[in-house]
Amino acid sequence: MTLFLMFAGGLIALVIGASLLVRGAAKLALSFGISSLVVGLTVVAFGTSAPEVAVSVGAVLNGQVDIAIGNVVGSNIFNVLFILGISALIAPLIVNIQLIKQEVPIMIAASLALLLMILDGKLAFWEAGVLLAALVVYTTFLVIQSRKQTAAAGNGEFDDEVDMSSTWDRHWSVQVLLIIGGLVLLVLGSRWLVEAAVTTAKMLGVSDLVIGLTIVAAGTSLPEVATSVTAAIKGQRDIAVGNVVGSNTFNILGCLGLSGLMAPAGLAVAPSIVSFDIWVMLAVAVACLPIFITGREIARWEGAVFVGYYVAYTAYLIMASQEHDALPMFSNAMLYFVVPITVITLLVSFFRQKNSPSTA
């Protein structure tokens, strides 16, 4: 019961902390005259990934590197397969052309760069610095780009994520307190969550890595779940997709960049991450491009496929950690039956859409 309360308390603290941090930082930025579009592309998007940063950095400082890396890789897989899947089941998701042409390729490039960096079984200190530097360049690019855009679409998107009509938090002192309170809750929440997860893993005989890839990854992605699902329900379906893509890019560049800089000797990467999980993360990122291009939307059936694959991926992790007898049969069924059928279906759908007379 104590572990459950600690885990639940950690999740709640992470969600509330991220919300306070986003509100305080966003309103403080607006108080200094920064446009809501720029804030929406930076503070709000990155704020939803604050729990991943808090947990991964905290795990590295506590010596639990597997949780730190598993949290990022698992969160990125969870974001695309589960969050987009559930959101698409609520309503088919519209995909903005900028996401197809710019943001998704950047997410894929970040995923590929991480794969190449850890092929030697380690994320070096300098490589973490490169990731963080890439985040600075990417953010600067977004700010410059957004200032050149005159369309007001970004304001509506931002207003859906942060309530700008409230008056109680208009003063800068309140905004600073919100930021401080959010950071304190993130630190406490990450500590409780990691401690509960590690203790539970040891009791159940499950590795830190599997816990990081599943429970911790899903828990730290709750802000993304709330943002994307709420956006889908409200009909703001473009926000649901953009939130996930932006968060995945930040998780790799910012979260692992900061985590790696906390370990001067570098972060050791588990062999299973190098041989399997990082490839799943890359495949999921690459799969977004043809699916997004197909009609520029994620249909309900594609959402169902996403959710199904996440369930299958989680089942595989659990069976592999327990060395279950059914693992070989399950793996063969996924490799030789489910995956080929999915690929064929997506290709047929893509070419039908491409040859459709209504396609622009």
Report the C-alpha gap between 226 and 48 in whole angstroms. 10
Number of neighbouring beta carbons within 10 Å of residue 263: 18
Phi and psi for 62 in degrees, rounded to 5?
-90, 0
**Mean pLDDT value across residues 272-277:** 88
Q: Do residues 38 and 155 touch, judged by C-beta distance below 8 A?
A: no
- Average pLDDT of the residues in 234-251: 77
Average pLDDT over residues 50-64: 86
pLDDT in tens, 166-204: 667 777 788 888 888 887 887 788 778 777 877 877 787
The lowest-confidence range among 141-150, 156-165, 301-310 is 156-165
pLDDT digits (tens, 9 = 90+) for 3-38: 888 888 888 887 788 778 777 777 776 676 665 545
Average pLDDT over residues 57-63: 88
> Residue 262: pLDDT above 90?
yes
For the cut 60, the answer to whether the pLDDT of residue 122 exceeds it is yes
Specify the pTM. 0.79
Select from 118, 44, 156 the least CA-distant residue to 282: 118
Q: Which of 207, 223, 216 is nearest to 58 (CA)?
A: 216
Tokens of 200: 């539970």
Domains and CATH numbers, the chain: 2-324 (1.20.1420.30)
